[in-house]
Structure 1
Amino acid sequence: MLKVLFQNKSMKTILITGSTDGIGKLTAIKLVKSGYQILLHGRNIEKLNNTVSEIKKLSKNEKINGFVSDLSDFRSIQKMITDITKEHSEIDILINNAGVFKSNIQQNKDSLDIRFAVNYFAPYMLTNGLIPLLKNSNSPRVINLSSAAQSTVSLEALKGNEKISTQEAYSQSKLALTMWSFYLSQKIDFLNVVAVNPGSLLNTKMVQEAYGQYWSSADKGADILYELAISEKYADSNGKYFDNDKGTFSNAHNDAYNQEKITRLISETNKILNL
């Protein structure tokens, strides 16, 4: 049975991206039922509103807000940052859950691969934009959804100058996210940043579309996100990688510990995003 270990639940505000289905939605339901204030995110406004209404009815908890953004569109992300900042002065936990594997759209408006755009650039932008709100929390956490699939990042592919396969783009985007997670954990001392593989081939829409099969229930992923978000057990896990296939903290790809490669990745990322 999941235990809530933070006090003053009503004061804890948790933002979950990609929370209109899959493990994002399941995690939101678990947290809402435990009394936390949840900020849902979705790309489709109608689906988002329906999800907000559904979870409110299911949980009998009215502390739910929805924010819409197309995470492949950097201008849309900036608008969501502005919208959240207008309504909230503090975020305690940010779960960068949204991700994409297969897509009808291969590039975003800036000619970047859609996997890099949504899986890496979006959480990078969103988290940096919400740093002032995270700083207002007593114990802010950032949880980044990585994957068992990680492969060396081609900076040319990152910039949209090299075409690579869907699988390779996905794997590279997840390693980029993990590398940045470790960088962020060192750069901002008040954050507790964890990268997590929620489990391989969980029963989600993205996995079904990509592989047509699954190994484990989506609840496996939601359970670990719930625990990483609110359990005191993970209060001092900054800069670590949790592998839910193993059920423990483990080592990510070797490149995630290569400071030279991390520095080049962050430098190119900031150039692309004009930061």
Structure 2
Amino acid sequence: MDGKVCLITGATGGIGLEAAKALARMGATVVLVGRDAGRTEAAVAAVKEAAPSAQVDWLRADLASLKSVRELAQTFRSRYPRLDVLLNNAGLIIDRRQVTEDGLEATMATNHFAPFLLTNLLLDVMKATGPARIINVSSDAHAAGKLDFDDLQSERGFIGFRVYGTSKLANILFTRALAKRLEGTQVTTNALHPGVVRTGFGHNTQGFFRHLVKLGAAFMISAEKGARTSVYLASSPEVEAVSGQYFYKCRPKKPSSAARNDALAERLWQVSEQLTGVKG
């Protein structure tokens, strides 16, 4: 990974931080994205401790804000002429419906619309860099999701885990639609399930899901293990030409039937363009 630049969202802890450490050890320049300056600076220090000779940078962004995502892309472009790996890792689950400044439900805003917008804003840089890779961290929870285009913002009913599952379904559908658009370029894109990972994820929820996370912690894998498939997709020559697939434990896995529905993927792409303001 020497000379390669990797941009990682949700990099202040858990899977994102462990992926950053691993890629930095391989020689990559890693750019961490976080919302909180203090936590992101601490993550940079952790990566430098793991890989003392690595080039490590950080950018601040609130992925629940489309304006902030646009500023993130603009700042990155002003600092770096290339982007070899975009790891869309940041994820959110909440148990009470929240609406962002853009009028979007917060889970979908953070987990789907933010990576959709960020990826599209950086695509020309990645095409110019090529070969380059876009990696979207999804989840097997996608099987519990259902896209209702008449209620995409969950105004008629909000169940946190179901909405989270829908956002993860959106990640896979986005990956499929993007892969088609990238045919003939040197840019690939794949999605993955990291496993059930023991991190701080879900600790900001209340009630049943928070207790479920605590009870299940003993059976979860470490963040380091959870990052392995992300690192594999970012660096392995084995998947250099693979695109549009869903991976688990560094191997392709068949996602749900809804996640393989190309008509659904195209409709989601069109709606996402409209809601994020992406053109083309």
Distance 2:78 2:118 in 1: 15
Task: Give, as a single letter, the amino acid of the residue that structure 1 aligns with 2:76.
Answer: I
Give the Cα separation in 1 of the matches to 2:225 and 2:135. 16
Give the structure 1 partner of residue 147 of structure 2: 153
Answer with 256-265 or 174-183: which moved more.
256-265
**TM-score, length of structure 1 as denominator length:** 0.90
Task: Tell me which of 241, 244, 253 is aligned to 1:239.
Answer: 244
- The yes-or-no answer on 1:268 pairing with 2:271 is yes
Q: Distance in 1 between matches of 2:267 and 2:25?
A: 42
Q: Given the alignment of the two structures, is residue 61 of structure 1 paired with residue 53 of structure 2, yes or no? A: yes
Structure 2 stretches lacking a partner, 5+ long: 205-209
Corresponding residue number in structure 2 for 1:188: 182
Cα shift readout 1:202-244 (whole Å, capped 9, x = no counterpart): 1111055542223222222111111111010111220111123
Aligned-partner Cα distance in 2 for 1:185–1:82: 24
Question: Structure 2: how far apart are the matches of 1:58 and 1:103?
Answer: 35
Partner AA of 1:166 in structure 2? G
Amino acid at match of 1:116: M
The 1-side partners of 2:159 and 2:138 are apart by 18
Report the CA distance shift for 1:35/1:148 in structure 2 as closer, same or farther (over 3 A).
Answer: same
User: 1 CA distance for matches of 2:266 and 2:190?
Assistant: 19
SS of the residue aligned with 2:151?
A: helix
**Distance in 2 of aligned mates of 1:30 and 1:159:** 36
Counterpart position of 1:31: 23
Counterpart residue type for residue 190 of structure 2: V
Correspondence 1:86-105 to 2 at 5 A? 86-102=78-94
Give the match for residue 6 of structure 1. Answer: none
Mapped partners of 2:88, 2:139: distance in 1: 13
Residue deviations 1:96-142, cap 9 Å, x none? 00000127772211222111001100100000000121112231101
Query: CA RMSD for the aligned pairs?
Result: 1.7
Selected match of 1:205 from 185, 200, 204: 200
- 2:207 aligns to what? none
Map of 1:5 onto structure 2: none
**What is the number of equivalent residue pairs in this alignment?**
264
The answer as to 2:15 corresponding to 1:15 is no
Q: Residues 22-75 of structure 1: CA distance to partner in whole angstroms, max 9, x if unpaired?
A: 010011011112211101110111211222133223321241110110000000
Q: 1:171 — aligned with what?
A: 165
Whether 2:109 is the aligned partner of 1:117: answer yes
3-state SS in 2 of match to 1:35: coil
1:261 positional shift: 1.6
* Letter matched to residue 70 of structure 2: Q
CA–CA separation in structure 2 for the residues paired with 1:66 and 1:53: 11
2:108 matched to 1:107? no
TM-score by length of 2: 0.89
Percent identity, please.
27
Task: Provide the C-alpha distance between the structure 1 equivalents of 2:264 and 2:154, rounded to a whole number of angstroms.
Answer: 18
1:216 aligns with 2:221: yes
Amino acid at match of 2:201: M
Tell me, in whole angstroms, the C-alpha distance in 2 between the residues paired with 1:159 and 1:102.
14
Distance across 2 between alignment mates of 1:51 and 1:104:
28
The separation in 1 between residues aligned to 2:99 and 2:180, in whole angstroms, is 31
> Any gaps of 5 or more consecutive residues in structure 1?
1-8
CA shift in 2, pair 1:39/1:104, >3 Å:
farther
Distance in 1, Cα, partners of 2:16 & 2:137:
10
Which secondary structure state, in structure 2, belongs to the residue aligned with residue 136 of structure 1?
helix
CA contact (8 A) 1:93 1:141 kept: yes
**Counterpart-to-counterpart distance in 2, 1:49 and 1:108:** 25
1:254 counterpart (243, 247, 257): 257
